[in-house]
Chain A
Amino acid sequence: MAENELPPAVRMRSIVKSFGPVEVLKAVDMDIVAGEVHALAGENGAGKSTLMKVLQGVHQITSGTIQVNGEPVTIRNTADAERAGIGMVFQEFSLIPSMTVAQNIFLNREIRGTAGLVDDRAAENAARKIFDGLGVKIDPKARVSDLGTAYWQLVEIAKALSKEASVIVMDEPTASLAKHEVENLFDLIETLKKRGIAIVYISHRMDEIRRVADRITVLRDGRVVLASAVATLTAAEIIEAIIGRRLASDLVYRDRQLSGDAPILLEAKNIASNRVLKSVSLTIRAGEIVGLAGLMGSGRTEFARVVAGMDRPTQGTLSIDGKMVRFATPIAAQQAGVALIPEDRREQGLVLEHSVADNLTLPVLDRMKAGGFLSMRKLRDATEDLVTRFAVKASDPYAPISQLSGGNQQKVVVAKWINTNPRILVMDEPTSGVDIGTKTEILDIVRDFASRGNAVLFISSELPELLAVADSIVVIRQGRSDLPLVRTDIVSEEQLQLTIQGDAA
């Protein structure tokens, strides 16, 4: 390739970044070459987002050098990064929900018309042109809050493109995408590559990395432990670099010897709701993990909300322990032993301004009392226990949770709800953004939880993990459920994928 003649689009050398006394990046080197997809991998908290935020001017480097096209640059703020041609699709939601798509794309770089006034019409046309070039259909006049999550990313990509970025960083772009949306994104990445744009692709998913990436850099504890072409590596080698050891338990199903006559804990019959649900039925026995599969928008999340008492069914019945229940509120559901780990941690799962400790103990404050008042000692012990058990990487459990890396925030959500000792646990995409090592640990925790006679409803778009954990799988299509697939019904991942797509494909 032309790597030897041309300088790389971005060359980072000995990048160090500290937050106060905590050194997050320790002399990191990375080259990003025009027209390549460069995967950036590593455990939760390894420093991936931080490295890219430094490049984007959100954080300033403590020391080190950055060259863009061979020229040394100083990136002090996002304007500097923009001038250097670097755009980023952030891991955390970074659009203004109350503004339109076009207004978001051109935020802080508004197109001016007569008398220097902002010209929304021109912005809408420009946005439409970008979307046309990408082959996606989004109305530039639509308000972002009215768009589905899948479109947020596209808007952010368009925003980066509108800045004529030559390097686009995508931080876990598929974490909230369904399978076919991931395919669309990959097509898009292909298009961008052809235009000579370099893409940094941060992901925890091996299959994606091996599919789209040309080269990979792996970080561990703020250091580069692997930098190589992807084609020469096996998935196992990449995983080993990421977690620093061989993965003890890979994503494989482990038969937990369920007895078919265990009591039925949760039974849903022909559930319909105002939203998408038309007719969903399933049963979960004590000790069983039922996987719920389906496309985005098929009604998985809506079903979870009904079980957790957040929405009321318009038809059908829900029974727990054989007794029919009608939850008026989520609290009623909680009292009946149902806990929901919601899909979007930032909007529903966490109080971002509060500390890790506060978030972890919030649902169980009643158990933290001594003589009518909260016991600081109980709170501290409970926090320490959970942080170790779930391997939450937090330099200070009393610092705001917003400072944690994305994957570690997700671990806190899972820990928080499992700790409430529910009997029926509903998990909606619980491992979104969680690294591969921790993912296997979370799956172990879920298995262990079920084996103690509890019921788990596990919703996931990631089939390998669903296949690894679920004892049976129910597929929902357009608000209707099929008969459950037991393990022997499932031939292969591909075949399951086809079933999920069904007539929607």
Chain B
Amino acid sequence: MTSATTITRPALVSRVMTRLDWRSNIIYIAFVIVFILFAIFLGSDGFLSTNNMLNIVRQTATISIMAVAMTFVIAAAEIDLSVGSIAGLASVVTAMTTTQFGLVPGIVAGILAGAIIGAINGGLVALLKVPSFLVTLGMLGLAAGLAQWITSSAPQPITDRIYVMIFGGGDFGPVPGMLVWTVVAVALGWLVMNRTGFGRKVLATGGNPTAAAYTGIRTARIKFSVLLISGIAAAIAGMLYAGRLESGRFQWGQGDELTVIAAVILGGTSLFGGRGAIIGTLFGSLFMGLINNGLILAGLEVAQQQVVRGAIIIAAVALSRKK
């Protein structure tokens, strides 16, 4: 009798699904509620102005891009704590190389920096079976230290106008470049996650590694790939920092890993792997930007902002958890 109810969707399953959906879609509800609250209380401070809206998008682009890649990492039941540091490192590498050798070498060097670190992360996890938490925790310190070391803690200005144009400074008509980057990352991420074999393999690796291996999926290779992708995405984020702020600094991206992971989890991706919600991730990231923006407009001090932000994240994550 249970059996019969279990398979007819309209009955049991859809009832279960609606309950689950409510929980895994909490981000949209939270987003709308917070947006309305801010609109009411901060409307007079310019919260609703087009300029402020675009600002939120500009400021969250880097987080969104890293979060899209992180969605793959977490869906594969791994974690990458080094993204913030990789962004900082890539920002100084790309700035120094652009100044010395020009635009194209600068871009290549920036991406390469992220790819190399991502490959080291992935290699250690896939080949030596070191937990990604430990590998990337170590890499967080290593990459940050490296960035500070090679620059002697000094900012690295970027004067190349085209670089600044491409990486975030420029607009396409009324559309900010940062918005374009975000849209491209999300669209690509969604497509790969939901419509390619690679996406399926990532979800399978995170969902049940034994079953994935029995089905012929090389789970080690998948783990390597997601960490490599995360490294490259973090490097691009670092280059966007460098472009938007017209300099590379080791501080860029510092602490972003927490915002990125929070955005992904808020978006409905399971920390235990097997599920990856790219659109949810985008809204998770926008939600983080929204809160930042609102708290600044409300005139809170940095310390107060941190407290409020932390509390909101805990509340939202607690609500989005399955029982």
Partners in one complex: yes
User: Does A118 lie within 8 Å of B7, measured CB to CB?
Assistant: no
CA distance in complex: A95, B203 (Å): 12
Encoded as 1 (CB less than 8 Å from any A CB) or 0, chain B from 196 to 225 comes to 110111011001101111111100000000
B6 on the A face (CB < 8 A): yes
Stretch at the interface among A137-145, A380-388, A465-473: A137-145
Of A108, A143, A298, A504, the contact of B215 (CB 8 Å cutoff): A108
Encoded as 1 (CB less than 8 Å from any B CB) or 0, chain A from 470 to 505 comes to 000000001000000000000000000000000010
CA distance in complex: A138, B4 (Å): 9
CA distance in complex: A56, B215 (Å): 10
Stretch at the interface among A74-82, A430-438, A446-454: A74-82
B13 on the A face (CB < 8 A): yes
On whether A150 and B3 interact (CB within 8 A), knowing A58-B214, A108-B215, the answer reads yes
B128 on the A face (CB < 8 A): no
User: Does B214 lie within 8 Å of A82, measured CB to CB?
Assistant: no
B274 on the A face (CB < 8 A): yes
**Interface size, B (range):** 20 to 34
CA distance in complex: A147, B2 (Å): 10
User: Does A78 lie within 8 Å of B1, measured CB to CB?
Assistant: no
User: Does A148 lie within 8 Å of B3, measured CB to CB?
Assistant: yes
Of B7, B9, B197, B210, the contact of A151 (CB 8 Å cutoff): B7
From residue B269, how far is it (CB to closest CB) to chain A in Å?
A: 11
On whether A96 and B211 interact (CB within 8 A), knowing A77-B216, A142-B7, the answer reads yes
Of A94, A108, A276, A296, the contact of B200 (CB 8 Å cutoff): A108
Task: Tell me which residues across on chain B come within 8 A of A147, comparing CB atoms.
Answer: 6-7
A117 on the B face (CB < 8 A): yes
CA distance in complex: A56, B200 (Å): 22
CA distance in complex: A425, B273 (Å): 35
CA distance in complex: A93, B209 (Å): 11
User: Does B1 lie within 8 Å of A297, measured CB to CB?
Assistant: yes
On whether A103 and B270 interact (CB within 8 A), knowing A139-B9, A296-B2, A296-B3, the answer reads no
**Interface size, A (range):** 35 or more
Task: Tell me which residues across on chain A come within 8 A of B16, comparing CB atoms.
Answer: 146
B58 on the A face (CB < 8 A): no
Task: Tell me which residues across on chain B come within 8 A of A137, comparing CB atoms.
Answer: 7
CA distance in complex: A210, B12 (Å): 38
Residue of B nearest to A103 (CB): B200
User: Does B215 lie within 8 Å of A118, measured CB to CB?
Assistant: no
Task: Tell me which residues across on chain B come within 8 A of A151, comparing CB atoms.
Answer: 3, 6-7
The residues in B between 267 and 297 inclusive whose CB is less than 8 angstroms from any CB of A are 270, 274-275
User: Does A108 lie within 8 Å of B3, measured CB to CB?
Assistant: no
User: Does B200 lie within 8 Å of A118, measured CB to CB?
Assistant: yes
From residue B194, how far is it (CB to closest CB) to chain A in Å?
A: 8
Task: Tell me which residues across on chain B come within 8 A of A103, comparing CB atoms.
Answer: 200
B323 on the A face (CB < 8 A): no
Of A93, A99, A143, A148, the contact of B204 (CB 8 Å cutoff): A99
20 contacts between A and B (CB under 8 A): A82-B216, A93-B208, A93-B211, A94-B210, A95-B208, A96-B203, A98-B270, A99-B274, A103-B200, A107-B212, A108-B201, A108-B216, A110-B197, A117-B191, A117-B195, A118-B195, A148-B2, A148-B3, A151-B3, A151-B6
Extra contacts besides A58-B213, A110-B200, A118-B199 (17): CB < 8 Å: A77-B216, A78-B214, A93-B211, A94-B208, A94-B210, A95-B208, A99-B204, A107-B200, A107-B204, A108-B197, A108-B216, A110-B197, A138-B7, A142-B13, A146-B13, A297-B1, A298-B1
